[in-house]
A and B are shown apart, each in its own frame.
Chain A
Amino acid sequence: MTGLRRLVAISLVVFGVAVFYILLAGLWPSSGGGGGGNGASGQPTVSQTPGQPGQPTQTPGAVISAQEVAKHSSSGDCWIIISNKVYDVSSYLRSHPGGAGAITPYCGKEATQAFQTKDLSRGLDHSSRAYSHLDSIYVGDLAG
């Protein structure tokens, strides 16, 4: 039993250190909302205020035309439009709980209704956590 106790103790310490590091890296004010990835386009993504449910909030970025968004229409380079804002979901696709296939049909296109209804007929919006994720992959505002 001593070996088991030791294994659990070590695992708890590793868990504690990992959680501390992740929380510090993600919530420390100077680190902003961006982190390990910047999206395929290389655009920096920064969030200054926490997202409100139903309302992603970001620092205004570049102004991007619909034609420019349409150029990023593959699963390896995927931009989508939600509420007149452009998001680079390229590196997020595999992490999407509903699967990458739920997003890829909207690469390069308008995706507001699909996002706010989870593309389902019963109209379920995404959670506040999902809106917070958008902050991290914001590219710019849609022109026009």
Chain B
Amino acid sequence: MTTIRSNSGWLLLSLLSLLPLAFWYSIEPMSVRFATRSTTLQSLGQVTGLVGIAMFASTIVLSSRLAFLEDYFGGLNKIYVAHHVFGSLALVLLLFHPIALAAQYMTFSSRSAALLLLPSADWVIDYGIVALLAMILFIVLTLFVRLPYHVWEFSHRLLGPAFFLATLHCFTIRSDISRDATLRTYVLLLSIVAMAVYLCRAALGRWLVSRFEYRVESVRELNDRAIHIKMKPTGRPTTFLAGQFVFVDFHQPGISAETHPYSIASTPGETGLELVVRSLGDYTSRLKGLRPGALARIEGPFGRFTYHRYRNKDQIWIAGGIGITPFMSMVRTLKNSGYNVDMYYGANSLDEAVFLDDLLGLSGNGANFRVIPFLADVHGFLTAAKVEEMSGGLHRKDIFLCGPPVMVRNLVKQFLQRGVPANRIHSDEFALR
């Protein structure tokens, strides 16, 4: 997978978000748009509104888990990074949109400026006020408040109706959009695509989103913080590549049907699915009560964290704790593949190093596969310097990391500082919020 292709999604969405500026530029000369302080403030208000709504539309599309977008961003986890970036930038721009316009009104009337910001009988402005307040509320809840997951998920979905109100404001207010057919058509198309994608998932997802039904076969505790779940399909099974992940919701009384992502531990080609779940919060702790026979709905697979997509046959895999899960799937497909892998398995203690015995048994699995356990209470923390020393260098090697976010971020930083190009470092970091 080329670096250019896996970053082209960012470029395309940035262009789509900035294109309204080109149409806006062509409507009136810049010498008029920026002739006075008043016109300059008005122009700033217009520009922030146009780019803001375009980025808001992009954010909605990025939240929809469209599998075909993965190739253009380098995986679903990267799509969610783009979603966070575009969503935050959209909010920042839309915050300055009414401020710039009110500042323009202040050049002739401070009372008019104040009235612009307050709800009134003028529905056209009110749509915009309500949309912006909703956007502020739901993004603050995402970035700064730690809500229970199902509460946060519900509140975050309400950004769809907020976007709808924002588009009502765009198309009912007298502005460059109402005056110029090309700009109006473009913004309308962006809005229709975003709303359609949102409705397909949020309102019609039950019928339109492809899911697979599985039944839990066994649940085994690996230690006091991790469980191993085996499932069998009730109908058509999903097909996946080693290293990918799926979204799963379990259905059993006493366990809420929240959807969460889990890396697949089983081998491609098997009809069953194996997951390893770590108790991180309320929901995952309750999964210890999952019983054989419970129903599970699977969406996916997703992810580009797959070793054979990258050209270098010499690779370094680094797992921290439960981050071993995708590697378990990958290591079972290494036999006779021609890949040479040094696998560093980091854990705080031996108790946390689940699957270590399985990995040691798979060493020399028809491939050059070496397992190097790295227990914090014995060896200290793993560093890029130690990896470089033990693996005989980092040159022309692809590096895969999966584990606690702090561990991954620190190691990525260290590898970059040691001159490893960013396009040879791959992580499975995932953050829905």
A residues with CB within 8 A of B: 1, 4-5, 7-9, 11-12, 14-15, 18-19, 22-23, 25-27, 31-37, 39, 45, 47, 53, 91-92, 94-95, 97-99, 127-129, 132-133, 135-137
Contact = CB atoms under 8 A, between A and B. Distances in A.
Given A7-B88, A18-B99, A127-B122, A95 B108 contact: yes
7 interchain residue pairs of minimum CB distance: A26-B114, A35-B110, A97-B174, A136-B109, A37-B108, A33-B111, A15-B95
A25 B143 contact: no
A26 B136 contact: no
B114 A36 contact: no
Contacts of B111: 26-27, 31-35, 47, 132, 135-136
B337 interface: no
Interface in B88-118: 88, 91-92, 95-96, 99, 102-118
B76 interface: no
Contact of B108 (A22, A47, A91): A91
B108 A36 contact: yes
13 contacts: A4-B88, A5-B143, A9-B144, A14-B95, A22-B102, A22-B117, A33-B109, A35-B106, A45-B109, A92-B108, A94-B36, A137-B108, A137-B109
Contacts of B136: 12
B31 interface: no
Nearest to A1: B84
B330 interface: no
A126 to B, nearest CB: 10
A8 B88 contact: yes
A50 B414 CA distance: 64
B26 interface: no
B143 A8 contact: yes
A27 to B, nearest CB: 5
**B contact residues, range:** 35 or more
A134 to B, nearest CB: 10
Contacts of B122: 127-129
Contact of A129 (B91, B102, B116): B116
B192 interface: no
Contact of A97 (B95, B107, B144, B175): B175
Interface string B51-88: 00000000000000000000000000000000011001
B387 to A, nearest CB: 25
Contacts of A39: 108
A7 B92 CA distance: 8
A127 B119 CA distance: 13
A23 to B, nearest CB: 5
B92 A95 contact: no
Given A11-B91, A18-B99, A128-B120, A35 B84 contact: no
A35 B113 contact: yes
A61 to B, nearest CB: 16
A49 B204 CA distance: 51
Contacts of A135: 111
A35 B124 CA distance: 24
A94 B38 contact: yes
B267 interface: no
Interface string B115-157: 1111011101100000000001001100110000000000000
B110 A31 contact: yes
A35 B112 contact: yes
A127 B143 contact: no
B115 A132 contact: yes
A25 B144 contact: no
Nearest to A127: B122
Contacts of B140: 12
Contacts of B39: 94
A85 to B, nearest CB: 16
Nearest to B93: A11
A36 B143 contact: no
Interface in B170-204: 173-175, 179
B4 interface: no
B120 A129 contact: yes
Nearest to A91: B108
A13 B38 CA distance: 24
Contacts of B36: 94
Contacts of A19: 99, 117
